C-alpha cells in the first residue's frame, strides 16, 4: 500500500545509518510532532494538557530510562522511583541555592546527580545478575526513600516534609510554580522529552547500544569479545538514572508542583516497569506505547462506568480498576509477550507486503 | 570521634550492661525472622519447581488470611473456615496454572515475573472487593492458639515471650519438616525435585508439568495460609501485610532462590540483624532503618557469595 520502501535506494552510509531510513517513517514522525506541537495546544483543553499529555510524556521519559538499563542492557532494576526522586530532590536543592540560574539547566543537572547515584547503586551488577540484582536494586529504592523522609536538609527543613516548587521564569515567561500555565509547561516538557528521545535513539543505535545489547544477550561472551563489563553495566545504570532523574525533576517541577517522598515509592518503580514490559523491552517506541497504555488505562476505567450510568461506588471502582489492570497485564503478556512495539513491527511487515500475505 | 564511639563501642557497651534487653531483642528478631522465613519458603517452593519468581506470594499471604477471617466473620466455624480457605487456595493454584502459567510456558523469566505482578493487582482488587479493605482481627483463640506472655526472670531482668510466638515457631518447624519429608520420601515430592532440576528431562520421563505446578502453587498457598494466620494473630489482618512481604526478598538473596534451608537460615539472620540494627544503631541515624537494613545485610553477603548462602553454584558457559 502506501508503506513501501521500493525505490528508496540507500546510496551512502549516512542514509543507511539513519534512524528513520524509510520516507514514510519520517513523514509519520513529522505528523506526530506536528500533532504534539500544534494540535494539542490548539485544542487548548486544560484536562488534556495537564492531566493526560504532561504525565504521559514524563512517564514515557522515565520508561525510556528504565528501558535503557532493563531492555537494552538486560539488568532488571526496581529502583526507578527512587532515582526519579533523586532527580527531583537534587533539582529542588540546586534551585534553592542558586535561584538565578535558569531552572532548565538545573533540571538537566539534576539528571547528572541522579546518574552518579545510579552508578553507585549499580555496582552490585558487577557481581550478580538476574533476580538477585533486581532485589539488590530494591536496596536503592528503600534506602533512598528513607533518605527523602529522614534527612530534613533535602526538603529545606520544611515542617510538612514536602518539597514545594518555587516560581521560576524563562525569557520572562513563568514556567514553574502555581502560576505557570499548563500550555507553557506542556511545551517545555514536550521539547525536553523529544530531545532526550532523539539522544536515546542515537545512543542505542550506536556503539554503546550495541555494547549493551551484547552484554544483555550473554555477558560472558561479550566480555570475551573485549567489552568491559564493569564499564558497560555502570554506564547503563548511569544513563538510565539520568533519564529517570530528569523525569523525576520534570514530574515535580512541571506537573505536580510539589511532592512528598511517597511519590517516589516502590509503586512508582513497579508502574514504570509495567510500562516497559507492556510496551516492549528494548524498544524506544515501546516505552511510549507502554506509558500511554498503563497511564491512560486507569483514567479510562474511572471515567467509563459513570458515563454508562452504572451506579458504582468510588471505592468499588477503585477495586475493580485494580482487578482489571491485573487481568489486562496478564492478558497482554499472554497475547504479546514481546510488547506493544512488536505489534507495530508486525503491522509494518503486513503493510510492506500488502496485498500478499508474505 | 563521638560518632565513631557511637558506632563501634557504645552499642556493645549497652549490650553488655543490659543482657536481658539483648536477649529480648534477639528473641523478637528470631520471631520476626520465622515469619520472613515462611514467606521466603513460599517463594522458594514456586521458584524451584517452575522457575517463576512469584511476586504475588506476599499478597497470597494476605489473601489467605483475609479469606479465613472473612469466612469466620460470616459465622462459619473456625475449622470449617480453615478447610474452606484451603479449598480456595487450591482453586487459586489451579486457576493460576490454567489461566496464567500454561499460556506463558517457555517465556523469559521477566515475563513470568511480570505476570505475577498482574496476579498481585488482581488479588488486591478482588480481596478488597469481596472482604473490604479495613483491618480485621484474627480469631486466634478459636483455633486454639495460645495467647499471653510468659515472663522469665533471667540475666538480671525480665524477658517476655509471647506464647503465640512459640506456637508459630513450633508449627513452622513442623511444617518445614513435613515439607522436607514430602520432598524426599513421596512420589510427588520426587517428581517435584525432578521438575526443579530440569523441565525437559522431567517431561521426558513422563512427569506432568501442569500437575506439578498446581501442587507447588497449592503448597505455596498453604504456607501462605499458615504465615497469614500467625502474622494476622500478631497484628491485624490488613493489606499492610503485603508491604512486609517485600522484606522477605532480601531473605531470598541471602539464602539463595532455590534452597529451603537457605530460606529458613536467611530469614532468621535477617530478622535478628534487622532488630539488633534498629535497636542499637538505628537511633544514631534517625531511626526507621528497618525498611532497608535487611537489604544492606543481604548485599554485604552477596558481595562474597553471589548465589546466596545455600544457592546452587552458578556455572556459566558461553
A223-241 pLDDT per residue, tens: 899 999 889 999 999 999 9
Per-residue pLDDT averaged across A76-92, rounded?
91
Contact A334 B299 (CB under 8 A): no
Choosing from B223, B245, B267, the residue where a domain stops is B245
Higher pLDDT, A120 or B110: A120
Where does A76-206 have alpha helices with state H? Answer: 80-97, 103-121, 131-150, 182-205
Final residue of a domain: which of B245, B272, B298? B245
Residue B23 lies in a domain: no
Q: Which of residues 17-56 of B touch A (CB under 8 A)?
A: 53
Residue A205 pLDDT exceeds 80: yes
pLDDT higher than threshold 90 for residue A199: yes
Listed by start position, the domains of chain A span 20-353
| Contact (Cβ atoms closer than 8 angstroms) between residue A325 and residue A297 | yes
Write out the three cell numbers for B88.
Answer: 480456595
CA distances to A98, A101, A167, A181, B27 from A173, in Å: 19, 15, 10, 10, 62
Higher-scoring residue by pLDDT: B1, B40: B40
Whether cis (ω within 30° of 0) applies to the bond prior to A290 is no
- Asked if the model's pLDDT at residue B247 lies above 90, the reply is no
Range of the domain at B52: 40-245
DSSP states along A202-249: HHHHSHHHHHHHHHHH-HHHHHHTT--HHHHHHHHHHHHHHHHHHHHH
Separation between Cα atoms, residue B230 and residue A69, nearest integer Å: 39
* A323: nearest CB among B99, B129, B291: B129
Shortest CA gap B133–chain A (Å): 10
Distance (Å, whole) CA A124 – CA A104: 32
Predicted confidence (pLDDT) per residue in A16-74, tens digit: 877 787 888 888 889 988 888 888 888 877 777 888 888 999 999 999 999 999 989 98
Task: Give B-chain residues touching A267 at CB under 8 angstroms.
Answer: none
Please check whether residues B232 and B258 belong to one and the same domain.
no
Report the sign of the C-alpha dihedral through residues B227, B229, B233, B236, in that order. Answer: positive
ipTM above 0.85, yes or no: no
Beta carbons of B111 and A142 less than 8 Å apart: no
Among B245, B266, B284, give the residue marking a domain's end.
Answer: B245
User: How high is the pLDDT of residue A311?
Assistant: 64
E-strand spans in chain B? 149-154, 157-162
More confident site: B2 or A103: A103
Are β-strands B149-154 and A258-259 bridged in parallel, bridged antiparallel, or unpaired? unpaired
Same domain membership, residue B52 and residue B172: yes
pLDDT in tens, B74-109: 887 888 888 999 999 999 999 998 888 888 877 787
B156 min Cα distance to partner chain A (Å): 36
Mutate to test the interface with A, among B286, B299, B303, B317 (most CBs of A within 10 A): B299
Please write the tens of the pLDDT for every residue from B181-211.
887 788 888 888 888 777 788 889 988 888 8
Percentage of chain A exceeding pLDDT 70: 96
- Residues B231, B266: one domain? no
Is the pTM higher than 0.90? The answer reads no
The answer to whether the CB of A227 falls within 8 A of the CB of A215 is: yes
pLDDT tier, A242 (very low <50, low <70, confident <90, very high otherwise): very high
The matching CATH number, chosen from 1.10.3470, 1.25.40, 1.20.120, 3.30.70, for A20-353 is: 1.10.3470
Report if residue B273 sits inside a domain: yes
In the numeric block, which cell numbers belong to residue B307? Answer: 548465589
Residue B314: pLDDT band with limits 50, 70, 90: low
Q: H or E element: which one contains B248?
A: helix B248-255
Flag whether pLDDT at A208 surpasses 80: yes
Residue A247 pLDDT: 93
Helix (H) or strand (E) holding B232: helix B209-234
Instruction: Tell me the β-bridge partners of A174.
Output: A169
Q: What angle do CA A149, A151, A156 make, to 5 degrees?
A: 100
Q: Which of A70, A64, A302 is nearest to A192 (CA)?
A: A64
- Choose the weakest-confidence range: A43-47, A246-250, A337-341, B45-49: A43-47
How high does pLDDT run on average in chain A? 85
Answer whether residue A211 shows pLDDT above 90.
yes
Which residue in chain A has the smallest CA separation from B123?
A323
Amino acid at each position: 500500500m502506501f508503506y513501501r520502501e521500493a525505490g528508496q535506494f540507500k546510496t551512502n552510509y549516512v542514509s543507511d545509518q539513519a534512524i528513520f531510513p524509510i520516507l514514510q517513517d519520517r513523514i509519520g514522525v513529522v505528523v506526530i510532532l506536528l500533532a504534539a506541537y500544534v494540535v494539542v495546544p490548539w485544542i487548548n483543553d486544560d484536562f488534556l494538557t495537564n492531566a493526560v499529555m504532561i504525565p504521559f510524556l514524563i512517564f514515557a521519559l522515565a520508561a525510556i530510562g528504565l528501558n535503557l538499563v532493563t531492555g537494552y542492557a538486560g539488568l532488571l532494576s526496581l529502583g526507578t522511583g527512587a532515582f526519579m526522586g533523586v532527580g527531583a530532590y537534587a533539582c529542588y536543592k540546586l534551585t534553592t541555592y542558586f535561584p538565578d540560574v535558569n531552572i532548565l539547566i538545573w533540571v538537566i543537572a539534576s539528571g547528572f546527580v541522579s546518574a552518579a547515584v545510579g552508578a553507585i547503586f549499580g555496582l552490585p551488577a558487577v557481581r550478580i545478575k538476574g533476580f538477585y540484582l533486581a532485589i539488590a536494586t530494591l536496596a536503592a529504592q528503600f534506602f533512598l526513600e528513607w533518605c527523602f523522609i529522614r534527612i530534613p536538609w533535602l526538603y529545606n527543613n520544611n515542617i510538612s516534609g514536602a518539597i514545594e516548587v518555587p516560581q521560576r521564569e524563562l525569557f520572562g515567561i513563568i514556567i514553574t510554580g502555581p502560576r505557570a500555565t499548563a500550555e507553557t509547561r506542556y511545551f517545555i516538557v514536550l521539547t525536553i522529552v523529544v530531545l532526550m528521545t532523539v539522544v536515546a535513539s542515537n545512543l542505542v543505535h550506536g556503539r554503546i547500544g550495541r555494547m549493551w545489547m551484547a552484554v544483555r544477550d550473554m555477558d560472558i561472551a561479550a566480555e570475551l569479545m573485549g567489552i568491559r563489563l564493569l564499564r558497560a553495566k555502570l554506564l547503563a545504570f548511569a544513563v538510565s538514572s539520568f533519564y529517570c532523574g530528569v523525569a523525576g525533576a520534570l514530574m515535580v517541577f512541571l506537573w505536580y508542583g510539589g511532592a512528598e517522598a511517597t511519590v517516589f515509592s516502590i509503586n512508582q518503580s513497579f508502574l514504570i516497569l509495567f510500562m516497559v514490559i507492556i510496551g516492549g523491552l528494548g524498544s524506544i517506541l515501546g516505552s511510549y506505547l507502554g506509558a500511554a497504555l498503563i497511564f491512560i488505562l486507569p483514567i479510562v476505567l474511572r471515567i467509563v462506568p459513570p458515563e454508562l450510568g452504572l451506579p458504582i461506588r468510588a471505592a468499588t471502582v477503585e477495586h475493580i480498576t485494580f482487578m482489571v489492570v491485573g487481568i489486562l497485564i496478564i492478558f497482554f503478556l499472554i497475547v504479546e509477550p514481546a510488547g506493544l512495539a512488536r505489534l507495530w513491527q508486525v503491522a509494518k511487515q503486513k503493510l510492506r507486503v500488502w496485498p500478499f500475505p508474505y | 570521634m563521638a560518632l565513631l564511639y557511637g558506632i563501634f563501642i557504645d552499642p556493645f557497651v549497652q549490650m553488655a550492661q543490659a543482657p536481658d534487653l539483648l536477649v529480648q531483642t534477639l528473641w523478637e528478631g528470631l520471631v520476626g525472622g520465622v515469619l520472613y522465613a515462611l514467606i521466603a519458603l513460599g517463594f522458594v517452593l514456586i521458584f524451584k519447581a517452575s522457575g517463576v519468581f512469584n511476586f504475588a506470594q506476599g499478597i497470597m499471604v494476605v489473601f489467605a488470611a483475609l479469606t479465613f477471617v472473612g469466612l469466620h466473620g460470616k459465622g462459619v466455624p473456625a475449622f470449617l473456615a480453615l478447610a474452606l480457605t484451603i479449598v480456595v487456595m487450591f482453586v487459586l493454584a489451579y486457576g493460576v496454572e490454567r489461566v496464567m502459567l500454561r499460556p506463558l510456558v517457555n517465556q523469559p523469566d521477566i515475563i513470568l515475573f511480570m505476570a505475577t505482578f498482574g496476579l498481585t493487582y488482581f488479588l488486591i482488587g478482588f480481596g478488597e472487593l469481596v472482604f473490604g479493605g479495613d483491618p480485621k482481627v484474627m480469631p486466634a483463640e478459636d483455633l486454639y492458639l495460645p495467647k499471653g506472655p510468659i515472663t522469665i526472670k533471667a540475666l538480671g531482668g525480665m524477658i517476655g515471650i509471647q506464647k503465640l510466638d512459640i506456637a508459630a515457631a513450633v508449627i513452622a518447624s513442623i511444617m518445614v519438616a513435613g515439607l522436607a519429608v514430602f520432598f524426599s520420601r513421596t512420589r510427588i515430592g520426587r517428581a517435584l525435585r525432578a521438575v526443579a532440576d530440569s523441565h525437559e528431562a522431567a517431561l521426558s520421563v513422563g512427569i506432568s508439568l501442569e500437575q506439578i505446578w498446581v501442587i507447588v502453587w497449592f503448597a505455596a498457598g498453604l504456607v501462605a495460609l499458615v504465615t497469614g494466620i500467625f502474622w494476622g494473630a500478631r497484628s491485624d489482618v490488613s493489606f499492610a501485610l503485603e508491604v512486609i512481604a517485600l522484606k522477605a526478598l532480601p531473605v531470598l538473596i541471602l539464602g539463595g532462590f532455590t534452597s529451603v534451608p537457605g530460606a529458613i537460615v536467611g530469614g532468621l539472620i535477617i530478622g535478628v540483624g534487622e532488630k539488633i540494627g534498629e535497636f542499637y544503631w538505628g537511633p544514631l541515624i534517625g531511626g526507621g532503618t528497618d525498611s532497608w537494613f535487611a537489604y544492606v545485610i543481604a548485599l554485604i553477603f552477596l558481595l562474597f557469595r553471589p548465589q546466596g548462602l545455600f544457592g546452587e553454584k552458578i556455572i556459566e558457559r558461553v
